[in-house]
Amino acid sequence: MTVYKLTCVICPLSCSVEVEVEGNRVKDVRGFSCPRGKEWAVEEVLSPKRVVMTVIRVRAGKEPVVSVKTDSPIPKERIRELMSYLATLEVEAPVFIGQVVVEHPLGLETKVVATRSVEAVETREHA
């Protein structure tokens, strides 16, 4: 049996929540003040998820990189793998805010979206 001690991050109350787990089953949750806090604590112990943010290289852009995020939280244990994958990517300018850069990377149920726009450098036409 393991007892996880967490500080709830759902609201500024910052309740100290204890989750008692045996095997893969939650035996008891203590210290929360609202149902959202309880739900968060259980998920945080059984299958923690995070939104991941980084930057991706931009080809022919006015700026060298574009900031991106996953549009939903992904399982914590897959973060490193996703980061390594995103580090290999390069997108072509222009990039627009909200644009989907990768759909379901590595089979994850999330999209990687641009969180800013990057204009393309103006290319001169040669006569």
Partner 1 sequence: MMYDVVVVGGGPAGLASASESSKLGLRTLLLDENPRLGGILPQCIHPGFGLHCLGEDLTGPEFAHRLIEEVRGSGVEVRTQAHVTSLAMRSDLVKEVTYASPQGTEAVQAKAVIYAAGARERHRFEVGIAGDRVAGIYTAGEAQAMMDLYGVMPGRRVVIVGSGDVGLIMARRFALEGAEVVGVVEMLPYPGGLARNLMILRDFDIPLYLSHKVTEVRGRGRVERVKVVRVNEELRETGEGFWIDCDTLLISAGLVPRVKILRRAGAIMDPATGGPVVNDRLETTLPGVFAAGNSLIINDLVDYAVEQGRTAAKGAEEFVRGNGIPTRRWIRVRRGGYVRFVVPHMLGGDRDFWLYARVSRPVEDALVEVPEIGLRRKVPVLKPSEMLRLRIKSGVEGGRVTLVIR
Binding-site ranges for partner 1 (CB under 8 A): 7-9, 12-14, 50-55, 57, 63-65, 67, 69, 76, 79, 83-84, 87, 97, 115-117
* Residue 125 Cβ vs partner 1, minimum distance, rounded to whole Å: 26
Instruction: Specify the residue, 37 or 127, whose C-beta has the smaller distance to partner 1.
Output: 37
* Residue 106 Cβ vs partner 1, minimum distance, rounded to whole Å: 16
**65-70: strand order across its sheet:** 90-92, 53-59, 65-70, 111-114, 100-103
Dist CA 101 CA 93 (whole Å): 11
Instruction: Specify the residue, 26 or 65, whose C-beta has the smaller distance to partner 1.
Output: 65
* Residue 114 Cβ vs partner 1, minimum distance, rounded to whole Å: 9
38: closest CA among 19, 13, 14, 66? Answer: 19
Instruction: Specify the residue, 60 or 97, whose C-beta has the smaller distance to partner 1.
Output: 97
* Residue 90 Cβ vs partner 1, minimum distance, rounded to whole Å: 11
> Which DSSP category does 126 fall into?
P
Dist CA 85 CA 46 (whole Å): 25
